[in-house]
Amino acid sequence: MEHQAGLLRAPLKGPHQNNPPDNDASTTLSGGSSTDVSHSDRWSPEPPGSRECLPLGQGCYATPATRPLRFDPQTEAADVALQIGDPAPDFTLPNQNGEPVQLSSLRGQRVVIYFYPKDATPGCTKEACNFRDRWDLLEQNGIHVLGISKDNAASHTKFISKHTLPFTLLTDEEPCAVASSYGSYGLKKFMGREYMGMMRHTFLIDADGKVEKIYLKVKSATMADDLINDLGLG
């Protein structure tokens, strides 16, 4: 991960190029949406040796999943260190047109950042279409939407075109430095296989660039609805 003048830039594609496709359900923690991060919703960092810990990066560990999802793969999430009120980690990522988008350039308006596993999968399509269907209300209230996955620009362009998505999709290539900085990238298990993948998490950043809301238990079909209701805009 490179740091330049406080700016987080995603590294070039790393070694995890042949991971299994992200199953939609593999990235959702069980339950509904959450507008706060309680201890029950959050993995706490633990030093190696305190329990069976799996290193995910410098100073970041995930313990084995203790809440299996019925008929779904187990997920081991990276530590979500961000708290409500923290400055949102700045970043620059390419959009569907290959153009760089910097989070701090959107200062002055609220920004939804939603991490999702993969374009065109059932749950990710539902989530994107829910944001699309509530786009007019979000736009009227000055809320910008950024969807982030590992998919490349060509995949994003096809996904946007097929579902007429009016918002920006960004590419965070492996090893997903931006998602990692938001605690939204970690070890996942699916059909007995382990691989690193994107978690389905959503963050609302306020006009001052601080974290206003964190959603770790995302219902993909109603994520935009839940956010709008929590903000009292519905």
**Nearest CA among 92, 105, 100, 80 for reference residue 211:** 80
Say how far apart CA 114 and CA 143 lie, in whole Å: 13
* 124 annotated active-site: yes
| Angle subtended at Cα 220 by Cα 120 and Cα 9, rounded to the nearest 5 degrees | 70
Task: Please give the Cα distance from 120 to 13 (Å, whole number).
Answer: 21
Burial (CB count within 10 angstroms: exposed 0-12, middle 13-18, buried 19+), residue 93:
buried
Annotated catalytic residue within 53, 60, 124, 176: 124
List phi, psi (to 5°) of 76.
-115, 105
Structure tokens at 38: 């309680």
Active site residues: 124
